[in-house]
Amino acid sequence: MNTSEFRRRGKEMVDYVADYMEGIEGRQVYPDVEPGYLRPLIPDSAPQEPDTFEDIINDIEKIIMPGVTHWHSPYFFAYFPTASSYPAMLADMLCGAIGCIGFSWAASPACTELETVMMDWLGKMLELPKAFLTENAGEGGGVIQGSASEATLVALLAARTKAIHRLQAASPELTQAAIMEKLVAYSSDQVVATLGTTTCCSFDNLLEVGPICNKEDMWLHVDAAYAGSAFICPEFRHLLNGVEFADSFNFNPHKWLLVNFDCSAMWVKKRSDLTGAFRLDPTYLKHSHQDSGLITDYRHWQIPLGRRFRSLKMWFVFRMYGVKGLQAYIRKHVQLSHEFESLVLQDPRFEICAEVTLGLVCFRLKGSNKVNEALLQRINSAKKIHLVPCHLRDKFVLRFAICSRTVESAHVQRAWEHIKELAADVLRAERE
């Protein structure tokens, strides 16, 4: 495919994408396919000679779309949101074209420097303590990871390296095995200190756990994968209080801040804690500025060596929405979840199972787990909306998460009417 064909096909793809987004409400949110549906639909090996672009674009509707769960449908209320916005998609096109690998400053200075500044912008939006920022020659700084799991792993390995060095310095006679036996990682049932758990969006109290960690010289990593985006609104910022005690903090703009996956934002108070754990300096990656103290080589901050120019997505989204636009987006979702909550509360057959703080409502029919499992089964079989469950203590609970960028009150109302109808069916079937 030469450049002039790309101009044509690229514009066709832009229209395909726009049509898809515009018409997504009309697609069934959860697919009908059974496991193994796809393999019989395509050849069992790659073609020797090229197929045409028309062949491929036709196969998208024929082969791919029937098996897609439409995460951006306004009837998708499952898991947590995954971000989608047009500015982020435009930025991703540019990112693909530049196609640089940002493992060192020299490998593409703009890729590294924009990331550092965007992480400062975002840190300021959250009112993170200055210690986490890079500007004004601080010791802290931010980095984009691929996922919260990677951020947690990076924090854990950095904490481990730091603890080992401390033990080695204090007791040089200890063997490596003896040191390993002394290492302890404390976690809640969600792994690390969590703001906004996946099950029910509950919050750990950092003001309690933080000072203890600091006193005991323990690394504190705080994960706010979903909830973090809300902290750009002053009325939710108090949920982040205590982050000043943390060594590292992470949340996912790719969930709720309109920056398409993947973009997991991680800050540390001491950059040297990361670079001490992950430093990798083969000759072919050395460059003249690297020991100047002036630059960042992000490969020392993460597990992978390669990295995309992901800060472009942040730059486009932050600028094209503005802070106020992003705040309005968060507030609209929170308002919709409270709207759903009040609908549930008006129906005496149902109960709310956890405080509704942000965009997630945990609810169930008063009664057995069995009846709630039956309700969820009916909901997901009908495929008009899509939900997933959780367990809170021993109760089987339905999660209603406000997800889509385009979800409105009307969708929430329709979803609730649908749930009520199915609930009536379930309760009738139970009585019979």
Of 367-386, which residues contact a second copy (CB under 8 A)?
A: none
* 122 near a second copy (CB under 8 A): yes
Stretch 312-351 residues interacting with a second copy (CB under 8 A): 312, 315-316, 318-325
The most distant pair of C-alpha atoms in the chain lies apart, rounded to whole Å, by 79
CB of residue 33 to a second copy, shortest distance in Å: 5
* Of positions 388, 414, 420, 427, contacts a second copy by CB under 8 A: 388
* Of positions 105, 231, 340, 416, contacts a second copy by CB under 8 A: 105
Q: For a second copy, give the closer residue by CB, 59 or 347.
A: 59
Judge contact between 266 and 154, C-beta under 8 A.
Answer: yes
Determine the interface stretch with a second copy among 164-172, 177-185, 238-246, 337-345 (rule: CB under 8 A). 177-185
Q: For a second copy, give the closer residue by CB, 64 or 207.
A: 64
Q: How many CB atoms lie within 10 A of CB 302?
A: 21
Stretch 201-230 residues interacting with a second copy (CB under 8 A): none
* Of positions 10, 205, 368, 417, contacts a second copy by CB under 8 A: 10
Task: List Cα–Cα distances, 30 to 34, 73, 321, 364, 385, in angstroms.
Answer: 12, 10, 30, 21, 8
Taking alpha carbons only, the member of 300, 350, 343, 369 closest to residue 112 is 300
Judge contact between 264 and 303, C-beta under 8 A.
Answer: no
CB of residue 94 to a second copy, shortest distance in Å: 7
CB of residue 131 to a second copy, shortest distance in Å: 17
User: What count of Cα atoms within 13 Å lies in the side-chain half-sphere of residue 370?
Assistant: 3
Q: Kind and range of the H or E element at 391?
A: strand 388-392
Q: For a second copy, give the closer residue by CB, 79 or 203.
A: 79
Q: For a second copy, give the closer residue by CB, 35 or 348.
A: 35
* 114 near a second copy (CB under 8 A): yes
Stretch 225-254 residues interacting with a second copy (CB under 8 A): 254
Determine the interface stretch with a second copy among 32-40, 159-167, 209-217, 267-275 (rule: CB under 8 A). 32-40
Dihedrals φ, ψ of 364, to 5°? -160, 165
* Of positions 54, 62, 99, 342, contacts a second copy by CB under 8 A: 99
Task: List Cα–Cα distances, 397 to 15, 47, 345, 392, 423, in angstroms.
Answer: 40, 48, 15, 7, 14
Token pair in block for residue 64? 């791919």
Dihedrals φ, ψ of 297, to 5°? -110, 100
Per-residue b or e along 167-189, where b marks 16 or more CB atoms closer than 10 Å to that residue's CB: beeeeeeeeeeebeeeeeeeeee
Stretch 260-319 residues interacting with a second copy (CB under 8 A): 260-262, 282-286, 289, 292, 294-295, 303-306, 308, 312, 315-316, 318-319
Q: For a second copy, give the closer residue by CB, 204 or 210.
A: 204
* Of positions 25, 27, 28, 90, contacts a second copy by CB under 8 A: 90
Q: For a second copy, give the closer residue by CB, 9 or 420.
A: 9
Strands 360-365 and 350-352: antiparallel
Stretch 40-59 residues interacting with a second copy (CB under 8 A): 42, 44-51, 53, 55-56
* 129 near a second copy (CB under 8 A): no
CB of residue 347 to a second copy, shortest distance in Å: 23
Beta pairing partners, 401? 360
Stretch 132-171 residues interacting with a second copy (CB under 8 A): 135, 146-150, 153
CB of residue 79 to a second copy, shortest distance in Å: 6
How far is residue 90's CA from residue 406's CA, in Å, rounded to a whole number? Answer: 18
List, in order, residues 6 or more apart from 230 with CB less than 8 Å away.
196, 236, 239, 256, 330, 334, 358
* Of positions 25, 27, 28, 113, contacts a second copy by CB under 8 A: 113
Binding residues for a second copy, how many (CB under 8 A)? 130
Q: Kind and range of the H or E element at 248?
A: strand 248-251
* 179 near a second copy (CB under 8 A): no
